[in-house]
Amino acid sequence: MNLALTEMRRSKLRFGLLAGAVSLLVFLVLLLTTLSTALVNSITGALNGVDAQVLVYSAQARDNLQASRLEPGVVEQVTGVDGVGAAGPISTLTTSAALKDGTEDLQVFGFQPGQPGAPTGLSEGRLPQSSAEVAVDGGGYVIGDSLDLTAADKQLEVVGLLRGAQFSATPTAYITEDLYGQIVKATNPGVPFVPVNAVAVSTQDDPATVVSAINEQVPGTKAYTKSDAVALIPGVASISQTFGILVGLTFIIGIVVIGFFFLILTVQKMKSFTLLRAIGAGTGRLSRVVAMQISVVVLLASAIAVVLTLLAVRGLNSGIPVSLSPALVAGTVLAVLVFSLLAGLLSIRRIAKIDPFTAAGAR
């Protein structure tokens, strides 16, 4: 004879509606978080995936990789700084190409094979080793395809596919620094040297210490830990903040809905709770009834929300890779559960205040 579950079974509509409302709110939380993560990843993936702990831009770049121009010699200078294990160039440009999926915008990254600055996140194949090869994230390619770099008049063989390695939510191609130089020279015949955008640094030391060492020892540069550099990518902060506010508000609304629903339910049931207190049910026992009902509603709502989110993510062909992370689901459900139970304290406080003698009264 479980009071909590028996009541829920008798009032399926009431609790069903609540679970439905809560599931929509949990769904929104999951979907918004998933989308914002996907969006941020598609903007930051390339930089986040760089095999390095520290990134060095030019001092005038205002924290923006694409605005950064460094002479190639800076790579050696950085290599010489205390604590730097190895350093390699990162170069990037935006170009147009006839991509297999019909789109034209392509972000190109150049790196030195075997040096810091190479991408991670290879899902298939390997990284390019010669100036005839390319690894790509997006654009609809499979291994063995040929990628047509219209601007540089080059046909490249796709040897690797990457995931989560896009920059600016654009299909992104990874090529050798060598090939990158050829493209720059082909499109800008007069350039005195091929600039690099950043120097990628690997280190065994504390990245923050290496950052200060580089800032001190290499004039004209500004160094960042990788996570700082990623957070400073234009748009990332505002996307995270906007989505954060939406998710936070949705979350709070969900908790308030649960808290007030159970408070109303408790007030409506005061007569029964008073009777039960009078015939020997303790406050703890009755509080557990509320806690159990909240848990059942939250878990039921979460299950519905996960199904809805999976359907939405599948149905959503947004071009950027979107996937529902189990950690996000677990974290969200746990947070909703904990805060809902806290909101349930509103009801439990009412129960604790009951004077069981009231049940003996005539009314």
The binding site for other proteins (CB under 8 A) comprises: 1, 3, 6-7, 10-11, 271-272, 274-282, 285, 356-357, 359-363
54-58 vs 172-176, strand pairing mode: unpaired
- Cβ 289 to other proteins, closest distance in Å? 11
Smallest gap, in angstroms, from Cβ of residue 15 to other proteins? 11
Closest listed residue to residue 139, CA positions, set 314, 321, 324, 313: 321
Query: Closest CB to other proteins among 62 and 285?
Result: 285
Could you tell me the CA-to-CA distances from 196 to 34, 58, 101, 357 in Å, in that order?
A: 34, 10, 29, 82
Q: Which two tokens stand for residue 194?
A: 């091929």
Q: Are 47 and 226 in contact (CB under 8 A)?
A: yes
The minimum distance between CB 298 and other proteins, in angstroms, equals 21
- Cα separation of 13 and 304, whole Å? 16
Closer CB to other proteins, 206 or 355, in the complex: 355
Q: Which is nearer to other proteins, 192 or 361 (CB)?
A: 361
**Of 70 and 354, CB closest to other proteins:** 354
Question: Which stretch of DSSP H or E encloses residue 109?
Answer: strand 105-111
Q: Could you say which DSSP state residue 152 is in?
A: T
Report, in Å, the least distance between residue 258 CB and other proteins. 20
Residue nearer to other proteins on the CB measure, 4 or 328: 4
- Measured from the CB atom, the residue of 327 and 362 that comes closer to other proteins is 362
Residue 265 C-beta: closest distance to other proteins, Å: 11
Cα 163 from chain centre? 14
H-state helical runs in the chain: 3-10, 12-48, 74-79, 177-187, 207-217, 226-231, 236-268, 270-278, 283-315, 326-343, 345-352
Task: Decide whether 250 or 274 has the Cβ nearer to other proteins.
Answer: 274
Shortest distance (Å) from residue 287 CB to other proteins: 13
Q: How far is the CB of 4 from other proteins (least distance, A)?
A: 11
| Exposed / middle / buried, residue 4 (Cβ in 10 Å: 0-12, 13-18, 19+) | middle
